[in-house]
Amino acid sequence: MSHPQSGIIPDHAKSGIFIEADFQASALDNIKKACAASLDELSKLQQQFPEADVALTIGFGDKAWRLFNHPEEGTDLKPFRPLGNGLAPATQHDLLIHIQSMRHDVSFALALNLLALFGDDIQVLNETHGFRWIEERGIEGFVDGTENPTGENIQKVGVIANDKVDAGGTYILIQKYLHDLKKWNKVNLQQQEACVGRSKQDNIEFDKAVRLPDSHLGRVNLKENGKTLEIVRRSLPFGTASGEHGLLFCAYCHCLHNIETQLLSMFGETDGKTDLLLTHLSKAISGAYYFAPSIERLKAL
Ligand code: HEM
């Protein structure tokens, strides 16, 4: 039986660190060792600070994953491509380190320890520290994560099933969104709610009959053959009050298809309609897909 890496599990973490890096093929043996050793560092901190619920996922971009030569595993994986005439840029990297916990100090300790393990074999290109904001709202003011799968459904939706050769693996999208709050705050409450497809204060979902087709929910609440396309979101707000801020979007899924179909729909690549959140609130400044193998595979890359 294969087990998923722990980073997908916690659903109300207070802190998240997202690190994206590149590495050379010549460093492959060191990368393998650092991945296995990362799990030991994680266990140490889990034992030292049990209340922090610290969790970790290590994932690989398409080019990097192919180097490990497990061609039957992670077969959905491909590089992220730009979408919507550049509205969603592609910034694919080789390695993702995703840390979640209830304590930012513990997340930070794990990040430091892992970067020491990987050392000069990786070049870090992005590091974003996310925080859980008031009432689990995004900094645009809407509650985020309400319709996320919970309990057993987290693994059902997020993790490749046990009858598959890459059981315990998962696909991940990392996309950084910068919010323009000055612009958003000029949009009145009713229009903001129409953009999202939910009410702001009490977080009630609008009936499908009144929801705008280009509202966020209109774009991402999709059905195929009568079944909703589900994903597990582990996004967090990030940034500074005076400078750049927004949402570090992070989604896990047992297949890339569900994530990609929602993205194509948001960025005008299905019916030409673009998500109203992109018009009035936010712009994507990064985009990358990763495959995170099971714990067992990570230990034996
Ligand atoms: C729902 C915000 C990007 C997929 C929501 C909700 C909010 C929100 C406020 C409603 C509450 C909830 O169920 O969580 C945002 C913002 C984004 C963003 C501010 C970026 C600017 C994305 C992206 C995807 C996505 C890139 C997928 C690729 C979803 C899904 C739901 C959702 C699947 C639940 C829909 C449902 O079944 O009701 N988002 N989101 N979101 N979002 Fe996003």
- Is residue 228 situated within a structural domain? yes
Q: Catalytic residues, which ones?
A: 144
Q: Which domain range does residue 153 map to?
A: 6-299
Most informative mutation of 11, 80, 147 for ligand 1 (most atoms within 8 A of CB): 147
Q: Is the ipTM of this complex over 0.85?
A: yes
Most informative mutation of 207, 216, 234 for ligand 1 (most atoms within 8 A of CB): 216
Q: Give the per-residue pLDDT at 218.
A: 97
Of 99, 106, 112, 105, the residue nearest 18 (C-alpha) = 99
Ligand 1 touching residue 146 (CB < 6 A): yes
CA of 192 to the centre of ligand 1 (A): 14
Q: Give the per-residue pLDDT at 17.
A: 98
Catalogue the E-assigned strands of 35-121: 55-60, 95-101
Ligand 1 touching residue 220 (CB < 6 A): yes
- Is residue 1 situated within a structural domain? no
- Is residue 244 situated within a structural domain? yes
CA of 295 to the centre of ligand 1 (A): 28
- Is residue 174 situated within a structural domain? yes
Q: What CATH number is given to the structural domain containing 219? A: 3.30.70.3420
User: Is 292:170 a contact under the CB 8 Å cutoff?
Assistant: yes
CA atoms within 13 A on the CB side of 182: 4
User: Is 253:231 a contact under the CB 8 Å cutoff?
Assistant: yes
Nearest-CA residue for atom 35 of ligand 1: 221
- Is residue 23 situated within a structural domain? yes
Q: Which residues of 109-135 are buried (b: 16+ CB within 10 A; e: fewer)?
A: bbbebbbebbeebbeeebebbbebeee
Walking along the chain (301 residues) 10 residues at a time, the average pLDDT comes out as 94 97 98 98 98 98 98 98 96 98 98 98 98 98 97 97 97 98 98 98 95 97 97 98 98 98 98 97 98 98 97
Most informative mutation of 154, 249, 261 for ligand 1 (most atoms within 8 A of CB): 249
- The DSSP call for residue 165 is T
Q: Give the per-residue pLDDT at 1.
A: 84
pTM above 0.80, yes or no: yes
Spatial distance between the Cα atoms of 252 and 290, rounded to a whole number of angstroms: 9
- Is residue 258 situated within a structural domain? yes
Count of structural domains within the chain: 1
Ligand 1 touching residue 247 (CB < 6 A): yes
CA of 217 to the centre of ligand 1 (A): 7
Element (DSSP H or E) covering residue 251: strand 245-253
- Is residue 68 situated within a structural domain? yes
- Is residue 20 situated within a structural domain? yes
CA of 282 to the centre of ligand 1 (A): 12
